A and B are shown apart, each in its own frame.
Chain A
Amino acid sequence: MLKRLSIFLALTGILAVTLLVFRLKKAPPTPIPLVEPSRAPYTDSIGARGIVEAVNENVIVAPILPGMITDIYVNVGDLVKKGAPLFRQDTRDAGAKVSAQQAQVVLLEARVKESEVKVADKQDDLVRADRLLSQRVISDDVQRRKYFELKSAESALDSARAELLLARAQLTQAEVTLDLLTVRAPRDGEILRQNMHEGEYAGVASSDPNAPSLLLGETTHLQLRADVDEDSASRVQTGAVAVAYIKGMHSDPIPLRFVRIEPYITVKKSLTGDSSERVDTRVLQVIYQFDKTKVPVYVGQQMDVFIEGKAPRLPQPENDKKILLTPKSP
C-alpha cells in the first residue's frame, strides 16, 4: 500500500515537473484580438491638440500712446460695438495743452481783429490822402506813404490770419492727442480678458504677450486651431472630418467644420508653458469651426482633436511570432 502510493506519487511528481519545464519553455501566449475602444471616432484618427479661438482670432487691445490708466469703461464679458470707449489714460497733460491752445486761438483771433481794424484805418487814410492829393493839398510823397502803410497793415493781417490758422491746427492736434488717450474698440466683440487697473501704466507693447491686458474677440462662433504633429501632417486631408473633446469629457464629442489648413508648418507653441518642453517638433495647424455647444466652451481652452486621416493600419502581430514594426530604410 505505502509502496504503491509512494511510487505512484513519485511518478506523478516527475511527470508534473516535466510538464512544468515544457510549459515554461514555451513562448508567452499570443496577444488576444485588440478590442476597439468605443470612443475612437474613426478607424484612422490623427490625434491633435487644439486651442479654442474666437473667429478671426483675438485682438490684443493696446493703447497708441503710453500712459497711466485713469478710467476703465468695460468689464470682462461685456459686448462692445466698434468705436466704443474701452479705457482712458491720464489726460491732464493733454487737456492742459488743449486749453493753452484754445487760449492761443482766442488771442490770435483778437489779433486778427486788431489787424483788420488797422487795415480799415489805413484804407480810410489812403482814401483821404488820395482826395487831398487831387486837390493838391498834400504832396505825392505823403500819399505814397499812406499807400505803403495800408499795404503793411494788410500783410500784418495776413500774417495774423496765418498764425490763427496755425493755432487752430495746433488745437486740433492737441484735441486728437487728448482723444487718443481714450482707447476705443477696434471692432465688435466680447471682452475676453480685462487685466487693467486704474493707476497702472499701459505701455504700447504688452509686458507679457501670454497675458494681454485687454483681449477682444468675437465669441458667437468659435474656431479651433488644431496642432497636428509633423509626423502625422501628411495624413491630414483638406476637408477632413474631425471631432473635438473637451479635456476630461470623453462622452460628448463636438463636431467640427473644416475651415482651412494653415499652409505653413510652425514651431509648436508651448501650450503647457513648461520651459523645458521640446520645441523642435513642428506642427501643422488646421482650423475648424464649431457652434456654441451645450457645455460652455471658452476661448483659450485646450481640446483633444481627432481628425480622420488615411494611413495604412499597423500590421497585426501574427500568432506566436514577435513582429517589430520596421521603418523603411532609405
Chain B
Amino acid sequence: MLRIALLMLFRDRAKYVMLIVGLTFCSLLMTQQSSVFCGLMLWTSATVRNIGAKVWVFDAKVEQVNEVIPLREIEVTRVRGIPGVEWAVPLYVGIEQARLSDGSFQNVQLVGLDTATFVGRPMQITKGRIEDLRMPDAVIIDQVGVDKFRKKGITIDIGTTFEINDKTARVVALCHANRSFLGQPYIYTTYDRALQFAKPQRKMMSCVLVEPKPGVSSKELAESISAIPGLRAFERDDLFWSTVWWYIKNTGIPISFGTVVLMGVIVGIAIAGQTFYLFILDNLRYLAALKAMGARMPILAAMVFLQSFSVGFVGFGLGVGLTSIFGYKVLKIEQPPFFMPWQVPAFVAVIIILICCFSAAIGLRQIAKLEPAVVFK
C-alpha cells in the first residue's frame, strides 16, 4: 500500500516538483536567515571572543561589551585585593579614528593589552611576532583592517605606518581576529600606548580582566566582584549572552529577521498546503477506489502522511543543502555573517514537520469525507 502511495506521488511530476520547490524555498529561507541572524549576533560579541579572559570587570551600569563606561585605574588594585583573584590586568577598548597616509579615515577598534603580560593578545598571528609589540609605536592590525585598507588603496604590511589621533602607529605584525559587529578592524597595542593613542579623558581604563584562582569558579568570583559598589563583573559566557541579548532587546535586528523567517513559514504552508490539497484532490479517484476495496482509514492516513513527509524530507534536505552551499561560500570571505548552531536545522525540521502535518491533515479531511461511490462517477 505504501509503495502505491509513493508511486502516486512520484508519478505526478508537476505537483511533486511544485511541492519540493515550495518546501525547499521555505527551509532555505528559514535556515539561511536564522544563520545570518546568529552570525550577526556572534559578531556583536567579537571583543569577548578575541580577548577571551575568564572574568571581566566593568562599571556597575555596563550591560554589554561594546558600550563601556571607563573606570579609574585604581580599580585594578581594588580587584586584585578580592579573594579568589589570581591576577587582574587593565584593558583598554575603544573606537578611534585612524588616518591613512593619503588622508582618508578609518574607524578602528583599539585594544590596549596589559603592557607587561599581553593578556588577551591575538591568538592567530599571521605575520610578524607578538613580542615586537614592545617596540616604539608598535601596533598589530587584523585581517579585516588589511582588507579595508586595501580597498582604500593602501597595502598594509609590517612596517607600514598610519596615524591614530595624530600619533604615529607602526604595524609590527598582522593577526586574524573575529570580526566586530560594525566591521571596524581590531588594532592591538600595549595599554600604555593605547592611552597615548586614545583621546584623553579623565578615566581611561575600559575594564579589568581577571583570572580566578584555581578551584574558584568564574561565576562565583564574578558574583563576589559584583558585590563591590560601583563594579560589575561578568563571567565570559554571561558577558557573551548579555551582549547578544542587549542587541536583541535594543535593536530592530530580531524583528527584521523574524519577519523573514515567518514569511518562510507562511510561504511553506501556503504553497505546500495548497499543492498537497490539489494533489489529494487529483488522486481522489484512486483513493476512493482503495477505500472501496476495503482500505481502512488508518492505512489511508499512513499513505497520506508518508507522501507528505517524503516531500517534506526532500524539501528540507534541498533547502539546508542550499544553505550549506551559501554557508561554505560565505565562511571563506567571512561576510555576510553566518553561524549555524545545531538548533537552526533542528528548528527548521520541526517547522517543516508541522507544515507536513498540516498539509496531510487537510488532505485527510477530504479522504474522510470521501464516499467510495466517487470511483464510479
Contact = CB atoms under 8 A, between A and B. Distances in A.
Contacts, number: 152
Most chain B CB inside 10 Å of its own CB: which residue of A14, A18, A313, A328: A14
Nearest to B134: A47
A281 interface: yes
27 contacts: A2-B16, A3-B10, A9-B314, A10-B313, A10-B317, A13-B317, A13-B319, A13-B322, A14-B317, A16-B320, A17-B31, A24-B331, A24-B340, A28-B124, A31-B124, A35-B128, A40-B132, A45-B135, A49-B136, A231-B115, A232-B134, A276-B200, A278-B192, A324-B120, A324-B211, A326-B117, A327-B87
Contacts of A25: 341-342
A15 B318 CA distance: 11
Interface in B324-377: 324-325, 327-328, 331, 339-342, 344-345
Contacts of B324: 13, 16-17, 19-20
Contacts of B118: 314, 325
Contact of A7 (B178, B314, B328): B314
Contacts of A45: 135
Given A20-B328, A21-B340, A278-B195, A12 B317 contact: yes
Interface of A: 2-3, 6-7, 9-14, 16-21, 23-25, 28-32, 34-37, 40, 45-49, 229, 231-232, 248, 250, 272, 274, 276-278, 281, 304, 306, 313-314, 317, 322, 324-329
Interface of B: 6, 10, 13, 16-17, 20, 31, 52-53, 86-87, 89, 114-121, 123-132, 134-136, 138, 158-159, 161, 167, 172-173, 178, 192, 195-196, 200, 211, 313-325, 327-328, 331, 339-342, 344-345
A317 B195 contact: no
Contacts of A317: 123
Given A2-B16, A10-B321, A16-B321, A34 B125 contact: yes
A9 B341 contact: no
Given A17-B323, A232-B134, A314-B130, A326 B86 contact: yes
A34 B317 contact: no
Given A6-B318, A276-B200, A327-B89, A21 B345 contact: yes
